[in-house]
Structure 1
Amino acid sequence: MPIRHIARRLAAVAGGIRLAAGRRAPALAALACAAAAGLLPGAPAHAAQVKFGFLELGRDARYDEEKTYFRSLSRPLGRPVAGAEVALRESRFVGQAVGAEFALERAQADDAKGLVEQIGKLHAAGVRFFLIDAPGAVVAQVAQAVRGRELLLFNVSAADDALRQEQCQPNLLHTIPNHAMQADAMAQYLVSRKWRTVLLLEGPLPDDKLVAAAFENAARRFGLKIADKRAFLLSNDPRQRDQGNVGLLTAGPDYDAVFVADTDGEFARSVPYRTVRPRPVVGSEGLVAEAWHWAWERHGAPQLNSRLEKQASRRMASPDWAAWIAVKAVVEAVVRTNGGDFRTLAKYIGGDEITIDGFKGNRLGFRPWDGQLRQPVLLATHNAVIERAPIQGFLHQTNNMDTLGFDRRDSRCKF
C-alpha cells in the first residue's frame, strides 16, 4: 500500500475514529500499531520536525481564579494549551507514517511587545505555526507586528469581530467563533422557536458592548425585534443599586426572551428565574452559543472530551477545542501535502481542498476572505447541548455555515 494511503488512514485514527466505524476500526488500529513499531514500509528513517508555538499572557484576566465562583457559561474553564497538547498526542502515529515529528513550545509574556519578541526567538528556532491565546487587542497588535514574516498565527480565544473585519491580517487565522457567529446562531434559534421579541441587557465593559452590538446586528439580519435595550451595573454604591436589580430591569414591555451581554458573568448568573415574566434567558447565561461544550455527544465528541479531561483534569471548553483544531489543521496539511514546505502548507490550510474533522458533523475549512474557520455553533445550557446551528431552514447559496458570521458580501477585510 502506498505510504500516502496509509497516512490518510492514520489521519482518521488520529482524528478520533468512532466505534461505529465497524469493520474498518480494527484494521486502522492495526495500522496505527504498525506505525508505532516502525513496521510500515517506506517510512522515513529520520523525521522532520513541525514545531508549534503557543503564545499567552502571563497575567490574563480571563483566567483570573478569583472569579471562578461566579464563572458564567460563556467564560473559559482554563488555559487552552491543553487542547493543543491533546492534538499533538493524537498526531503521533500520523507523524510516524509521514516522517514528521510534531512539537510544541509554550511561551508567555506580559504584553503584545513581549509576545512579538517570543515569536522572534521561536521563529529563529524553526517555529512557523503559532497559536495565540490573548485578548483581541493584543492579537491585533501581534499580528500586525509580524506581518510579512514566514509564519502563520491561529487565534484560539479572541472573539472580537474587528479581528475578522478592519483589523484582519493575511497571516492570522481564527479557530474560535467570533461574536457575529455566536449572535447569528442564537438569533436563528430564537426565530426557530418563534421567540421574536427580545429584551437586551447590556453590561458596562467594552466586551459587553461588542457582544450586544453583534446581537443587535443579528436581530436585524434575522428579523428579531429588540423590545428594549437596558444597561445594568453592579455596584456597592447605594445610589446605583437599582441598575443591578433584575426585577426592575426586566419590567415593562412584553418580550419572548432576555438576552444578557455580560462577559464578566457576575450579573448574568443572577438573571435566570428572577425576570418579572417567566421567560428564557440567553446570551451569557441560560442558553449560550459556543464552539464546544463538554455535553456534546455526537460525532466522536465523548472520546475527545475524555482525552481533554485526562490531560487537564477539567472539562473541555471552546478555547480548548479551538487550540485542538488549529493543531489538527496543520497536521492535516502535512499529511495531504506529504510534508511540504511552509508555503505549501499555508496555501493548503487556507485553500478549498482542506477537510478538517472537528467532531461537529461538518467538513471544516477557513473562509478565504477573513481567515475565520467555518464551523457549526453549539447552543447549550450548563449541562446539555440543545441545538446545533446553522439550524435547519436557514440556507445559503454555497455553504449553510456561512449563515453564521460575516459572509463574503458582509466582509470589510482587506488583505
Structure 2
Amino acid sequence: MTRGAAGRWVRWTVMSMCCAATASTAAAATLKATLIVPADDARLERTRLERAYLGHAGGPATDGLQVALDEGRFELEAAGAAVALSVVTAATPDAARAAAQAAEKAGAAVVLTDLDSDATLAVADAVKLPVLNLGDSADRLRQQDCRARLFHLIPSERMRTDALAQTLVSRKWTKLLLLVGSSPQDQGRAATAQASIKRYGLQVVASKPYRLSADPRERDLANPLLLTAGTAYDAVWVVDSDGEFARSLPYRTVLPRPVVGDAGLVALAWHAQFERYGAPQVSRRFAKAAKRPMTDHDWAAWMGGKALIAIAAAEPKGPNAAWAKALASTPVDGSKGGSLSFRPWDGQLRQSMLLTDGQGVIAQAPIEGLLHPTEVLDTLGADAPEKLCKATR
C-alpha cells in the first residue's frame, strides 16, 4: 500500500467508525485531526525495516493511530463524540508548515507529526493548535526549542539515558566504557548520555570514537576487540544512531561485560514482549492489524490516538479551544501502569521506560526505591526545577 493510499484508508476508516449514524454522535462536534508525515521516509525503506534495529521505527505511524481509534470507537459512541483523522505528507519543513496551516484553515483541532526536529518546529510555529510529536526524541524540542503548544508522546533522549543510568546503578555497574559514533547526532546523544551518567553518580573510565568505513586504513576504528581493550569497566555504553555498529558489539568485547545504549540492553517506550498492565492484549491487537510486532514508535502513535479519543470523549461538543484545554489535563492509559499525563513545564508525556535486550523486557525504570518529591516518573528526563524550557504554557 502506498503512503497516499494509507492516508486515504485512514480517513475513510476513522470516519466510518467514529461518525456512525447514531443520534448522539450526529449531534456531536467532530474533532478533526491531521497527521503530517515525511514524503519519503528513509526510516521506512525496506532494507532498514528488515534490519529491525532496537529503538528504530518498524512501520508507519498510521498503524498505531489506526489501532487506537479502532479500540476507542465504543468509548466515542458512548460519549456521543467523533474523531476524523486525515494524513498528509511533507518533503521539507516549508511543506510541513504549509500542510499545518492548511489543516488549521480546514478546521483541524489537533495536528500530529512524525517528522524531524526542524519540520516539527515549523509546524508548531505555523499554527495556534496543539501539536502532538509522535516520532522525534530530540531533547531540544523539550528544552531550548520547546513550544507552548507542543506535546511529546515519544520519550525524550534524556528519558532513555536516565532509564539506562538508573538501571546500571541498581546493578552496581558503575564504571563505563563509552563508545561514540562520529555523526553530529551521535555527538549530541553522547552528551545527553554523559549528563545522565553524571546525574546518577556513574563513572566514564574511557570514551572512544568508532567509525564504520569501507577504507581499509580505518578498519581498526570499528574493531570491537581493539575498542574495548586497555581498560577495566563494568559495562560498555554505545551511542550509535544508525544502529549498524552497535548491533555487532554484544558478545564481542574483550572483557565479558554487558553492552547498553543502542544495543544489548536498550531503554524503549514499548516492547512487544512486555507482559504487565494489559500490554499483551495491546501488542496482539496491533500485530493482528499491522502484521508486525509493535515497537516503541508504534506505541507513541497509539498513544496519540488514545489522546484524541480521551479529549473527544471529555468534551464531545468541542469547540477546538475546549479540546486544546482538555489535552493538557486529561490523563491517558498507556498500558504501562497508571494513567499518564503531560508535564506542564515541557509538554513531555510522563511514562515509565522498558529495558529490553530485544527478546523480552528485563526491567522497568524508574527503578524500585527511587524517590522524588512529587512524581517518581519525573526522575526520567528534565525535571521542573531545571527550567530548561522557557515557553509559557
- Normalised by the size of structure 2, how large is the TM-score? 0.91
Residue in 2 aligned with 1:138? 119
Q: CA deviation at 1:65?
A: 2.1
Residue in 2 aligned with 1:106? 87
Alpha-carbon contact 1:177-1:291 (below 8 Å) kept: yes
Distance 2:381 2:51 in 1: 29
The amino acid of 1:172's aligned partner reads L
Alpha-carbon contact 2:144-2:390 (below 8 Å) kept: yes
Alpha-carbon contact 1:74-1:263 (below 8 Å) kept: no
SS of 2:82's equivalent?
Answer: strand
Q: CA deviation at 1:338?
A: 4.3
Distance 2:387 2:45 in 1: 34
Q: CA deviation at 1:175?
A: 0.5
Tell which deviates more after alignment, 170-179 or 340-349: 340-349
Tell which deviates more after alignment, 91-100 or 379-388: 91-100
User: Runs of 4+ in structure 1 displaced over 6 angstroms?
Assistant: none
Match of 1:270 among 234, 240, 248: 248
Residue in 1 aligned with 2:382? 406
Match of 1:243 among 212, 218, 221: 221
Q: Matches of residues 299-338 of structure 1 in structure 2 within 5 Å?
A: 299-338=277-316
The amino acid of 1:78's aligned partner reads G
Q: Matches of residues 21-100 of structure 1 in structure 2 within 5 Å?
A: 43=24, 45-100=26-81
Distance 2:250 2:236 in 1: 9
Distance 1:321 1:170 in 2: 24
Number of aligned residue pairs: give it: 373
SS of 2:27's equivalent?
Answer: coil
Residue in 1 aligned with 2:230? 252
Does residue 295 of the first structure (1) align with residue 257 of the second (2)? no
Does residue 392 of the first structure (1) align with residue 392 of the second (2)? no
The amino acid of 1:267's aligned partner reads F
Does residue 165 of the first structure (1) align with residue 143 of the second (2)? yes
Q: CA deviation at 1:392?
A: 0.7
Does residue 189 of the first structure (1) align with residue 189 of the second (2)? no
Q: CA deviation at 1:117?
A: 1.4
SS of 1:43's equivalent?
Answer: helix
The amino acid of 1:340's aligned partner reads G
Distance 1:318 1:87 in 2: 14
Alpha-carbon contact 1:70-1:269 (below 8 Å) kept: no
Q: CA deviation at 1:196?
A: 0.4
Alpha-carbon contact 2:153-2:304 (below 8 Å) kept: yes
Identity %: 44
Residue in 2 aligned with 1:17? none
Q: CA deviation at 1:67?
A: 2.8
Q: CA deviation at 1:44?
A: 5.1
Q: CA deviation at 1:382?
A: 1.1
Residue in 1 aligned with 2:6? none
Deviations along 1:13-63, whole A, 9 cap, x unmatched? xxxxxxxxxxxxxxxxxxxxxx9996xxx8354343112211111112222
Residue in 1 aligned with 2:15? none
SS of 1:350's equivalent?
Answer: helix
Distance 2:301 2:49 in 1: 22
Tell which deviates more after alignment, 155-164 or 125-134: 125-134
Task: Give the aligned CA root-mean-square deviation in angstroms.
Answer: 1.7
Distance 1:345 1:266 in 2: 42
Q: CA deviation at 1:214?
A: 1.2
Residue in 2 aligned with 1:383? 359
Alpha-carbon contact 2:100-2:126 (below 8 Å) kept: no
Deviations along 1:351-371, whole A, 9 cap, x unmatched? 3xx221100002200001100
Distance 2:25 2:161 in 1: 47
Q: CA deviation at 1:69?
A: 4.4
SS of 2:186's equivalent?
Answer: helix
Cα separation, partners in 2 of 1:348 and 1:101, compared to 1, 3 Å: closer
Distance 1:99 1:338 in 2: 6
Alpha-carbon contact 2:277-2:335 (below 8 Å) kept: yes
Tell which deviates more after alignment, 269-278 or 333-342: 333-342
The amino acid of 1:378's aligned partner reads L
Q: CA deviation at 1:68?
A: 3.6
Q: CA deviation at 1:289?
A: 0.4
Alpha-carbon contact 2:100-2:123 (below 8 Å) kept: no
SS of 2:166's equivalent?
Answer: helix
Distance 2:122 2:312 in 1: 29
Tell which deviates more after alignment, 158-167 or 332-341: 332-341
Alpha-carbon contact 2:153-2:303 (below 8 Å) kept: yes
The amino acid of 2:74's aligned partner reads F
Distance 1:358 1:241 in 2: 44
Alpha-carbon contact 2:134-2:297 (below 8 Å) kept: yes
Alpha-carbon contact 1:337-1:344 (below 8 Å) kept: yes
Match of 1:361 among 337, 345, 365: 337
Alpha-carbon contact 1:116-1:142 (below 8 Å) kept: yes
Alpha-carbon contact 1:180-1:214 (below 8 Å) kept: yes
Does residue 230 of the first structure (1) align with residue 211 of the second (2)? no
Unpaired stretches in structure 1, ≥5 consecutive residues: 1-34
Residue in 2 aligned with 1:129? 110
